[in-house]
Amino acid sequence: MEPFVGLARLRADAVGSGRRDPVDPEALRVADGILEDLRQRGEAALREHAERLGEIGPGEAWFLTRGDLEQAARRISDRDREVLERTRARIEAFAKAQMASLLEMEVPIPGGRAGHRVVPVRRAGCYAPGGRFPLPSSVLMTVVPARVAGVREVVVASPRPGDLTLAAAFLAGADALIRVGGAQAIGAMAFGMGPLAPCDLLVGPGNRYVTAAKHRVAGRVGIDMLAGPSELVVLADETADPAVVAADLLAQAEHDPDALPVVVTMAGPDWLDRLDRAIGQALQDLPTRPVAERALARGFAVQSTSLEEACALCDRLAPEHLEVMVADLPAAAARLSDFGALFLGPRAAEVFGDYGAGPNHVLPTGGTARFTGGLSVMTFLRVHTWMELDQPEALIDDTARLARMEGLEAHARAAEARRRPPGG
pLDDT digits (tens, 9 = 90+) for 99-114: 999 999 999 999 999 9
Q: What CATH number should be reported for the domain holding residue 143?
A: 3.40.50.1980
Verify that 70 and 183 share a domain, yes or no. Answer: yes
Verify that 299 and 207 share a domain, yes or no. Answer: no
Verify that 281 and 139 share a domain, yes or no. Answer: no
pLDDT of 74 reads: 98
Percent of the chain predicted with pLDDT > 90:
91
Question: Is 377 among the domain residues?
Answer: no
pLDDT of 228 reads: 85
Per-residue pLDDT, averaged over 202-222, amounts to: 96
Question: Is 386 among the domain residues?
Answer: no
Verify that 179 and 48 share a domain, yes or no. Answer: yes
pLDDT of 422 reads: 65
SS (H, E, C) the chain: CCCCCCCEEECHHHCCCCCCCCCCHHHHHHHHHHHHHHHHHCHHHHHHHHHHCCCCCCCCCCEEEHHHHHHHHHHCCHHHHHHHHHHHHHHHHHHHHHHHCCCCEEEEECCEEEEEEEEECCEEEEECCCCCCCCHHHHHHHHHHHHHHCCCEEEEECCCCCHHHHHHHHHHCCCEEECCCHHHHHHHHHHCECCECCCCEEECCCCHHHHHHHHHHECCEEECCCCCCCEEEEEECCCCCHHHHHHHHHHHHCCCCCCEEEEEECCCHHHHHHHHHHHHHHHCCCCCHHHHHHHHHHCEEEECCCHHHHHHHHHHHCCCEEEEECCCHHHHHHHCCCCCEEEECCCCCHHHHHCCCCCCCCCCCCCHHHCCCCCCHHHHEEEEEEEEECCCHHHHHHHHHHHHHCCCHHHHHHHHCCCCCCCC
Confidence of residue 2 (pLDDT cuts 50, 70, 90): confident
Question: Is 155 among the domain residues?
Answer: yes
pLDDT of 78 reads: 98
Verify that 171 and 274 share a domain, yes or no. Answer: no
Verify that 126 and 240 share a domain, yes or no. Answer: no
Q: Which of 306, 338, 359 is the last residue of a domain?
A: 359
Verify that 211 and 233 share a domain, yes or no. Answer: no
pLDDT of 423 reads: 60
Verify that 106 and 249 share a domain, yes or no. Answer: no
pLDDT in tens, 22-57: 888 999 999 999 999 999 999 999 999 999 999 999
Verify that 77 and 139 share a domain, yes or no. Answer: yes
pLDDT in tens, 358-390: 999 999 999 999 999 999 999 999 999 999 999
Enumerate the active-site residues: 320-321
Quote the mean pLDDT of the chain: 95
pLDDT in tens, 228-268: 889 999 999 999 999 999 999 999 999 999 999 999 999 99
Verify that 218 and 275 share a domain, yes or no. Answer: no
Per-residue pLDDT, averaged over 14-29, amounts to: 87
pLDDT of 424 reads: 57
pLDDT of 18 reads: 75
| Predicted TM-score of the model (pTM) | 0.93
Question: Is 413 among the domain residues?
Answer: no
Percent of the chain predicted with pLDDT > 70:
99
| Tally of domains in the chain | 2
Residue 294 has pLDDT above 80, yes or no: yes
Confidence of residue 295 (pLDDT cuts 50, 70, 90): very high
Question: Is 217 among the domain residues?
Answer: yes
Q: Which of 189, 223, 257 is the last residue of a domain?
A: 223
Verify that 303 and 282 share a domain, yes or no. Answer: yes
Domain region containing 132: 25-223
